[in-house]
Amino acid sequence: MTNQPTPRKPHIVFYFSDTGGGHRSAAEAIIEAVHLEYKNQVTTEMVDFFKDYAPPPFNRVGAMYPYMVRAPQLWGASFHATDGRAQARIITSTMWPIARQPARALVQEHPADLIVTVHPFANSFALRALGKNRPPFITVVTDMVTTHALWFDKRADLIIVPTEIARDRALKYNMPEEKIRVAGLPVADKYCKPKGRKSTQRKKLGWPVDKPIVLMVGGGDGMGPLGKTAREIDASGLDVGLVIVCGRNQNLKASLEAEKWDNPTLIYGFTRDMPDFMRAADFIVTKAGPGTIAEALNADLPIILYSKLPGQEDGNVTFVVEEGAGVWAPTPQEVVRTLTRWISRPDERKKVIENCRRAGRPEAARTIAHAIGELLGL
């Protein structure tokens, strides 16, 4: 009897870009969920299409991103100026002559049985380069509410959005209703585990057990007025513990470590322990990045948003406030006022925690994994 050749496993390719932490972590969360749901049935691969395929100077977008967002007004203006069906068409058709060759190289060098994009810039160029006989194509939108027109291309087989508001925007851009699915924002499985007792988590982390803990985050690059806000909370007379995560911002970490703090204050650089930090904390003070918001909701953690990227992150603020899961507090004084109110009014705080629980979608990554499985007939 002859040995049957082992059937080839379907190969899924993810297009992402390291412009902000959100795109990479969304792709990683979906890949993790796919492997959890369909053990050893598929192979997966991630491609940073900007870094590896975009022509200069676009291939440096990832490296330039932390500097670009330091001019938030300019960022917001360019977001609004380019957002809209007509503008999106002009961008893609104007750039096609430059993008044609890199886009074709991308699709040829990474053959796939299914493609998932988690970045708005990959959609139209990749779909055009793939042509008619292409594998199934899924777009996973990683902006919560203020979704740029470039996310939406009718040629995609499925567009998965994180919120109902994002779905309404897709419909406004004439996307076929049957191609849009609301799933939530995919986050790593470790953010979706049972909560456990805060006191147990704190003992494990070496944090104070006897006072409210304020977790402060500035995104992966430690951006936003993090230091200033931390100092204001410390000087406010509130009896709290501060946990400050500076991300990759070494200068900020060094300057905060050199300070004299009144309250117990723990300062971290980039960390992989954020799920435990969120489960152990009582409040989070953060910039309005979609990933951090989704993770905080899954941890039932009341959210204070203190900075945002104009345009892209405006809707995230609206979402958190309208869901009753947190507040917008753009000055250190407003952050302190909110903390004071929540600490002195436990009933109000309990309500916010319940709202977080209602707004969270811990099953998002697995829902997306199932959509992939359906298209591949797994």
DSSP string, 306-348: EE--TTTTHHHHHHHHHTTSEEE--SHHHHHHHHHHHHH-HHH
Q: pLDDT at position 97, please? A: 82
Q: pLDDT at position 224, please? A: 56
If residue 115 lies in a helix (H) or strand (E), which one and from where to where? strand 114-117
* Helices and strands in the chain: count of H runs, count of E runs: 16, 12
What token pair was written down for 6? Answer: 């082992």
Q: pLDDT at position 309, please? A: 83
Q: Which residue has the tokens 């007004």?
A: 73
Task: Tell me which long-range contacts 70-73 makes (C-beta under 8 A, separation of at least 24).
Answer: 70/223, 72/309, 72/310, 73/310
Instruction: Please report, in tens digits, the pLDDT of each residue of the chain (378 residues total).
Output: 556 666 789 999 999 988 765 888 999 999 999 999 999 899 999 999 888 887 676 666 656 666 566 666 766 667 666 777 777 787 788 877 888 888 899 999 999 999 999 998 888 889 999 999 999 999 999 988 888 888 999 999 999 999 999 999 999 999 999 999 999 999 999 988 877 899 999 999 999 999 999 999 975 554 558 889 999 999 999 999 999 999 888 888 998 999 999 999 999 998 989 999 999 999 999 999 898 999 999 999 999 999 988 877 888 999 999 999 999 999 999 999 999 999 999 999 999 999 999 999 999 999 999 999 999 998
Decide: pTM greater than 0.75: yes
| Nearest by Cα to 118 from 199, 26, 181, 190 | 26
Q: Can you tell me whether residue 229 is helix, strand or coil?
A: helix
Q: pLDDT at position 38, please? A: 95
- Please report, for residues 40, 74, 163, 217, the alpha-carbon distance to residue 34 in angstroms, rounded to integers and kept in the order given: 9, 38, 21, 29
What phi and psi, each to the nearest 5 degrees, are found at residue 202?
Answer: -65, -40
Q: What is the C-alpha separation between 89 and 96, in angstroms, rounded? A: 10
Q: Which residue has the tokens 């082992």?
A: 6
245 beta partners: 217, 268
Q: What is the C-alpha separation between 211 and 239, in angstroms, rounded? A: 7
Q: What is the C-alpha separation between 50 and 63, in angstroms, rounded? A: 10
What token pair was written down for 211? Answer: 């006072």
What phi and psi, each to the nearest 5 degrees, are found at residue 3?
Answer: -75, 125
CA atoms within 13 A on the CB side of 96: 13
What is residue 54's DSSP assignment?
A: S
Q: What is the C-alpha separation between 223 and 20, in angstroms, rounded? A: 11
Q: pLDDT at position 64, please? A: 60
Task: Tell me which long-range contacts 249-257 makes (C-beta under 8 A, separation of at least 24).
Answer: 249/218, 249/221, 249/222, 249/223, 252/218, 252/222, 252/226, 252/227, 253/222, 255/227, 256/227, 256/230
Q: Can you tell me whether residue 140 is helix, strand or coil?
A: strand
Instruction: Report yes or no: 313 and 288 within 8 Å, Cβ to Cβ.
Output: yes
